[in-house]
Homo-oligomer: A and B are copies of this chain.
Amino acid sequence: MPETFYNQPSSVKKKLSIADIAEALGISKTSVSFILNGQAEEKRISKKLVDKVTSYVEQVGYKPNLLAKSLRTGKSNTIALMVEDISNPFFASIARLIEDRAYQHGYRITYCSTDNDTAKTKDMIDIFRDRHVDGYIIAPPEGVEEDISSLQKNDLPVVLFDRYLQSIETDVVVIDNKFSTYNATGLLAKNGYKQIAFVTFANEQIQMRDRKQGYLEAVAEKGLKPLVAEVNFSRNDDEITAPIFDFLSAHTELDAVVFGTNHVGACGLKAIQKLGLNIPDDLAVISFDDYDVFQLHSPPITAIAQPIEQIANQVITLLLNKLNGVTDIGSKQEIVVPTRLNVRGSSGAGR
């Protein structure tokens, strides 16, 4: 006869194992396991026993040890999310949406910020691998091609986003960076600006190259003189604002500027504020990425909005498809989602 258990308040819930409940009911662990995993019918367990086990499990509040489960099955139901910086509004928003979708499908998220640091990213990939995460969502820095293809060779699904790596074949969700800046620069030209600069972070990531390229093609097409400033990334905003300030001071001939990211944009606005320049009369402004700061600025800043929801949805869909075997691990789908140029006062409405 099974020992008497009480449905304990959670405060004193003892850790029960599958062996405990098998013993209590005088049956084998195997049966309990089959029943709990919904294989009762398939394994021809009688309805009577199923009921007995399920009601008992319910009563004592048994919860399987997921570590043991993962060890045996090799699945951890965890997805690694590696972004440049979780405190950047763009990545934070993406993270939030991915988190929601992942949880809906029974996956947890474990994240890290890479700082675009190749060595750190490699380390992190290793760490996540050690922890047997089931899939990876990565906004990769340069130089991690080998590590990512190694993941794929070992049957671990990977989806990249925000940027891709040229030598790697995998699913990726990106926006049309080149067209976006081409289009934005074109708007400034159309509005009569002649000296348009492009200010961005100094790095060779593909999405940043494309953004620069779009700008360059637009100015070339309009017969304007290109001028690009590349500032080094820093975790201290002042160290980003200062070089932009210097650049703008040194180039008083400029009448418009396109910022390559939200972060550069925000720091750029600080620099412009310090210089006491009037937007858009002294200097027209358009920034990549759209967020609160740009909407609320006076005048509001024209910005290239990434469709964050779409990106997150596409990313998680691609990954879930791989995890569920719908698509192959080696699948190489490149999904390009469209951006939207939110035109506001800062780009000088047809002056």
- Residues of A at the B interface (CB closer than 8 Å) are 9-13, 63-68, 70-71, 76, 78, 85-89, 92-93, 95-96, 99-100, 103, 108-113, 126-127, 129-132, 146-147, 149-150, 153-154, 266, 269-270, 273, 292-293, 295-298
- B66→A10 contact, CB < 8 A: no
Which of B12, B70, B147, B295 meets A10, CB within 8 Å?
B147
A297 to chain B, nearest CB (A): 6
Q: Tell whether A86 pairs with B76 under 8 Å between CB atoms, given A13-B150, A67-B67, A67-B71.
A: no
A173 to B298, CA, bound (A): 36
Q: CB-CB < 8 A to A13: which residues of B?
A: 150, 154
Chain B proximity of A12: nearest CB distance (Å): 7
Closest 10 pairs (CB-CB, A-B): A298-B298, A87-B96, A92-B92, A11-B150, A110-B110, A87-B92, A10-B150, A67-B71, A87-B93, A11-B153
CB neighbours (8 Å) of A64 from chain B are 130
Most buried by B among A95, A130, A131: A131
**Contact (Cβ within 8 A) B99 A95:** no
Copies of this protein chain in the complex: 2
The answer, among B70, B111, B273, for a CB contact under 8 Å with A296, is B273
Q: Is B76's CB under 8 angstroms from A67's CB?
A: yes
19 contacts between A and B (CB under 8 A): A10-B147, A64-B130, A66-B130, A66-B131, A67-B71, A67-B76, A67-B132, A86-B86, A87-B95, A87-B96, A89-B92, A99-B113, A108-B110, A109-B111, A109-B112, A110-B110, A269-B296, A270-B296, A273-B296
Q: How far is the CA of A273 from the CA of B12 in the complex (A)?
A: 54
| Nearest B residue (CB) for A132 | B67
- Contact status of A67 and B131, CB under 8 A, knowing A85-B96, A87-B89, A93-B87: yes
**Are B296 and A12 touching (Cβ within 8 A)?**
no
The one of B67, B100, B110 in contact with A70, judged by C-beta atoms closer than 8 angstroms, is B67
Cβ-defined contact, B110 with A103, below 8 A = no
When the two chains form their complex, are residues B298 and A297 in contact, meaning their CB atoms are under 8 A apart? yes
Minimum Cβ distance to chain B for residue A107 (Å): 11
